[in-house]
Amino acid sequence: MLEAKVFVTRRLPIELEELRSLVTVEVWPERQPPPYEILREKVQEIDGLLCLLTDQIDRQLIESGKLKVISQMAVGYDNIDIAAATARQIPVGHTPGVLTDATADFAWALLMAAARRVVEADRFTRAGLWQTWEPDLLLGPNVTGATLGIVGFGRIGQAIARRAKGFEMQILYTSRQRCNPELEQSLGVEFATLEHLLQESDFVTLHTPSTDDTYHLISDRQFELMKRSAILINTARGTIVDPDSLYRALTSGQIAAAAVDVTEPEPIPSDSLLLTLDNLIIAPHIGSASRQTRSKMATMAIANLIAGLRGDRLAYCVNP
Ligand code: DGY
């Protein structure tokens, strides 16, 4: 047993016996995240924090506590002030790798659903509008053989390319760093500037982290470059797309459709005009939500937490 207390900011999809046998564990029991003020109180008395992307772990919170480790159950960590944690020598863990395929699968599901208008078709049928087979009912573009633009070419971007290859797509990618020629060749992808990719692609899918550089990376100017038939997919972070520009692009016919699993802000406000659009699919940030993936993420987050409490190097550490 370690002389340590931890706070877990939501119920996790796995049993916490092992963790409870090692440390004193408190789990926030509500469906909603703990309010910031509660987190401020908790960090006064805990050594380890296991948090989610909905928890705001800022400098003030980090500096006011005595945390030895922060372990996030997500690959993204834009909700955590990493510089502040690093300055206090607090390791921050995350869960890369285990959610790559689940997230790529979901991005692919959104791409297919937006192209072939699956959600609209379901609404149409339930509304009692299906009267006969019609030659021009709910037409969409071909996915097979189309051009796909992948923005951000890390693990998930590359997993998307593997799926696209099976659909015989022309695949363009853009990223801070070009990959080596062997990888490009094996995935069948071509490096492009963002501008060129936007101009050429029938589908554009976003896989960059949320940083100052990617904030509203897709705004009016980028929508203007895209084909009027293009479909945008975002399973990365809502902040990458300017929501007002997205609304303008979808209502003016600047692009044909979009499907997003992430919004800015999250959850999407109930009065958002985006909710009125038929050519937009919106999912509630469930890209990694397969049972197996979520339990792997939780297991990994607990392993990072325990390593940090023991003073060991975290297996998946974000700090430099
Ligand atoms: C992440 O891990 O960053 C996803 O957004 C949620 O799984």
End-to-end CA distance of the chain: 29
| 76 CB near ligand 1 (under 6 Å) | yes
Contact 101, 108 (CB under 8 A): no
Give residue 134 CA to ligand 1 midpoint distance, Å.
40
Mutate to test the pocket of ligand 1, among 51, 57, 75 (most ligand atoms within 8 A of CB): 75
Sign of CA dihedral 198, 201, 203, 207: negative
Give residue 131 CA to ligand 1 midpoint distance, Å.
41
Give residue 100 CA to ligand 1 midpoint distance, Å.
10
| 107 CB near ligand 1 (under 6 Å) | no
| 99 CB near ligand 1 (under 6 Å) | yes
Give residue 293 CA to ligand 1 midpoint distance, Å.
11
Mean pLDDT of the chain: 98
Q: Which of 39, 7, 1 is nearest to 26 (CA)?
A: 7
Token pair listed for 260: 């997003």
- Which sequence spans correspond to the domains of the chain? 5-98+292-310, 100-282
In CATH terms, is domain 100-282 a member of 3.40.50.720? yes
| 208 CB near ligand 1 (under 6 Å) | no
- Residue 72 β-bridge partners: 51
Rounded-to-integer distance, Cα 279 and Cα 22, Å: 50
pLDDT at residue 279, as a whole number: 98
pLDDT tens for residues 169-202?
Answer: 999 999 999 999 999 999 999 999 999 999 999 9
Give residue 74 CA to ligand 1 midpoint distance, Å.
4
Q: Is the pLDDT of residue 1 over 90?
A: no
The residue contributing the CA closest to ligand 1 atom 2 is 74
| 198 CB near ligand 1 (under 6 Å) | no
State the chain's maximal CA–CA distance in angstroms.
70
Question: What predicted TM-score, i.e. pTM, was given to this entire model?
Answer: 0.97
Give residue 172 CA to ligand 1 midpoint distance, Å.
24
Contact 250, 279 (CB under 8 A): yes
Over pLDDT 70: what percentage of the chain? 100
Of the pLDDT bands very low, low, confident and very high (cuts 50, 70, 90), residue 295 is very high
Mutate to test the pocket of ligand 1, among 110, 206, 210, 288 (most ligand atoms within 8 A of CB): 288
Mutate to test the pocket of ligand 1, among 55, 94, 103, 304 (most ligand atoms within 8 A of CB): 103
Rounded-to-integer distance, Cα 160 and Cα 194, Å: 17
Domains 5-98+292-310 and 100-282 share a fold: yes
pLDDT tens for residues 214-268?
Answer: 999 999 999 999 999 999 999 999 999 999 999 999 999 999 999 999 999 999 9
CATH of domain 5-98+292-310: 3.40.50.720
Q: Indicate which residues carry an active-site annotation.
A: 237, 266, 285
pLDDT tens for residues 65-113?
Answer: 999 999 999 999 999 999 999 999 999 999 999 999 999 999 999 999 9
